[in-house]
Amino acid sequence: MLANGITRVGVVGSGTMGAGIAELCVTKGVDVRLAVSRESSLVSAPRRIAASLARRVEKGKLAPAERDAALARLSVGTDLADLADRQLVIEAIPEDEQLKLGLFATLDKVAADDAVLATTTSAIAITRLAAVTSRPERVIGLHFFNPVTALRLVEVVPALPTADAVTDLVTAFAEDTLDRRAVTVADRSGFVVNALLIPYLLAAIRMVEAGYCPAERVDLAMELGCAHPMGPLRLADLIGLDVVVAIAAALHAEFKEPLYATPPSLARLVEAGHLGRKTGRGFHTY
């Protein structure tokens, strides 16, 4: 076990979540190696993280020297073998079960024997991912929320075989090193937050789909009537409509309940490539 805690982290995937996790870690003094899948991301990924840090400097939330020190802790590469010296490797690739299963099988081969393998999946069972490795007792869910640098919750999700010492280690890392509030939850699809959130979003989408109320009014009603900082349709757009569909599909597959079924209008938007804020159009236009 890692007696002195976690100081070297690998992050696989440089999308919204991967980049956010990498940025959070480097600002908290952790050495991060970011593994990307495309050569172009060798430049674009650190550039996006640097731009995000620059905005925090402009807002007075980070000193220039802190920004520079954080960037010095970040390295980027395309070879997963470079993660061999990492104490914790966090998977943050797209919410596709087959992709994740393949990645965990690979990480099991390249990571150090005592490394912890974590996933930030929103809905896929951690036990299923752990089963493709030779170290299921060292696999765990570490579910961050978007935007990672602003939202303080982390769901810690032990798989059935996860060792208690690994759960304790990862929880301490999330709370003591990353300054996040860790909540340990059972390994059920959606965990706590998404198991509650996704049916709410889908209900709002069905309301719009049925012509009961336009998206703008549904959002306004929930913002003003329930003091939500963002209405459900804007929140779905922020999450990414493709991600909402993927989480809903995982929930529906596990629980077989109609409230998790994807509404047709949501499926059509995703099929058209209108994924929300990241593509400029979803239930709203950006």
Q: Which residues are catalytic?
A: 122, 143, 155, 194
Do 260 and 199 contact (CB within 8 A), yes or no?
A: yes
Q: Which two tokens stand for residue 280?
A: 């400029």
285/73 Cα distance (integer angstroms): 37
Strand partners, 276: 281
271: burial class by Cβ within 10 Å (0-12, 13-18, 19+)? Answer: exposed
Comparing CA positions, the residue from 99, 147, 149, 140 lying closest to residue 120 is 140
Comparing CA positions, the residue from 210, 198, 212 lying closest to residue 241 is 198
273/242 Cα distance (integer angstroms): 9
Do 106 and 64 contact (CB within 8 A), yes or no?
A: no
233/236 Cα distance (integer angstroms): 5
